[in-house]
A and B are shown apart, each in its own frame.
Chain A
Amino acid sequence: MSDALVPGGTQDVALIDLLDRLLQGGIVIHGQITLAAAEIDLVRLDLRVLIGAIDTLVTS
């Protein structure tokens, strides 16, 4: 990796972008790996609600 390349500052990005990456991106291991707890399912739900809200904002 180039010296000029500093990782993107995850601490600074909007939560919506972070959630999009962590909950919609990345490797998924079907069947053998499950979400850790019900609380994480809530985070997933929140993400869908947030994305729905953004869609509404953008198209209104």
Chain B
Amino acid sequence: MSALLYGIVDADRRPPVQRDFEGRRLRLLSCGSVAGVVGEVLPASAVDEAALREYARVVEALMVEGPVLPARWGSVASEADIALMLAERHNELLRALERVRGAVEFSVRPAEGRVRAVAASGSAPTTAAAGSGSGAAGAGTAYLQARFAAERTERELSEIVDAAAGSMVRARAWRPTRALALLVESDRAAEFAARIRARGLVLTGPWPPWSFSGGAR
């Protein structure tokens, strides 16, 4: 029987109260000290923005009850294959759970005007070489300028976060959406959010640790 995997949790937590897309209680598939939280598979025809938000909401609710490693959207497999995966990657998953235990994820980005300011200053050294930006050389230069600007934005954001609340940050990761993801101690999350907002940055969260769950494999 196929199941939709929502995330990985401690095996000894209480059974989840959240429900799947069919309105049924989510189930725990346990293996040693870890468990997969699974529910019914959503029909492909029913996949829309509301479904994605509902999936994210359920993972958030799981986070409130204890550490969770979110599963990437669309993780569908037979329950036997999920159990096999839990067995094969048991120790790796356990270590990943420990990394996120007692922590939540925030996303930080500059306010819109500031992004442009940073991007402009980042590209300044090579602006003359870029010319009009037309043609293959222009496109390549523009690409490098964009990368340079993104790296500069990341560096600047990191410096601001370090100055404002560095001691609360456990880990960080740069997102393709040009935001800095931060793994922050849960018990200092409210203080962290206040300090970051006071610096004029745009903050979202707390999220489940989507960016700190071990990555692709």
Report, as a range, how many residues of chain A touch the other chain.
35 or more
Does B177 lie within 8 Å of A17, measured CB to CB?
Answer: yes
By a CB distance below 8 angstroms, the chain A residues around B216 are 28, 30
Does B177 lie within 8 Å of A2, measured CB to CB?
Answer: no
Partner of A54, one of B49, B177, B210: B177
By a CB distance below 8 angstroms, the chain B residues around A26 are 7, 69-73, 75, 210, 213
Q: A49 at the A/B interface (Cβ < 8 Å)? A: no
| A1-40 interface with B by 8 A CB criterion | 1-2, 4-8, 10-11, 13, 15-30, 32-40
Q: Complex: how many Å from CA A55 to CA B145?
A: 11
B150 CB to nearest chain A CB (Å) = 8
Q: Given A16-B177, A17-B204, A51-B176, are A27 and B214 neighbors across the interface (CB < 8 Å)?
A: yes
Closest to A59 in B: B146
By a CB distance below 8 angstroms, the chain B residues around A36 are 4, 41-42, 44, 47, 74, 76
Does A40 lie within 8 Å of B49, measured CB to CB?
Answer: no
Closest to A4 in B: B190
Q: Complex: how many Å from CA A33 to CA B53?
A: 21
Does B75 lie within 8 Å of A33, measured CB to CB?
Answer: yes
Q: B26 at the A/B interface (Cβ < 8 Å)? A: no
By a CB distance below 8 angstroms, the chain B residues around A24 are 72, 175-176
By a CB distance below 8 angstroms, the chain A residues around B5 are 29, 33
Partner of B82, one of A17, A33, A35: A33
Q: Complex: how many Å from CA A59 to CA B144?
A: 11
**Which of A26, A28, A39, A55 has the largest count of B CB atoms less than 10 A from its CB?**
A26
Chain B positions near chain A (C-beta within 8 angstroms): 4-5, 7-8, 41-42, 44-45, 47, 49, 52-53, 55-57, 60-61, 63-64, 69-77, 81-82, 84-85, 93, 96, 104, 106-107, 115-116, 119, 123, 142, 145-146, 149, 175-179, 186-187, 189-190, 204-208, 210-211, 213-217
24 pairs, A vs B, C-beta closer than 8 Å: A5-B189, A7-B60, A8-B106, A20-B177, A21-B210, A21-B211, A22-B56, A22-B210, A25-B211, A26-B69, A27-B71, A28-B216, A28-B217, A30-B217, A32-B77, A33-B5, A33-B77, A33-B81, A35-B74, A40-B74, A43-B47, A43-B52, A58-B178, A59-B149
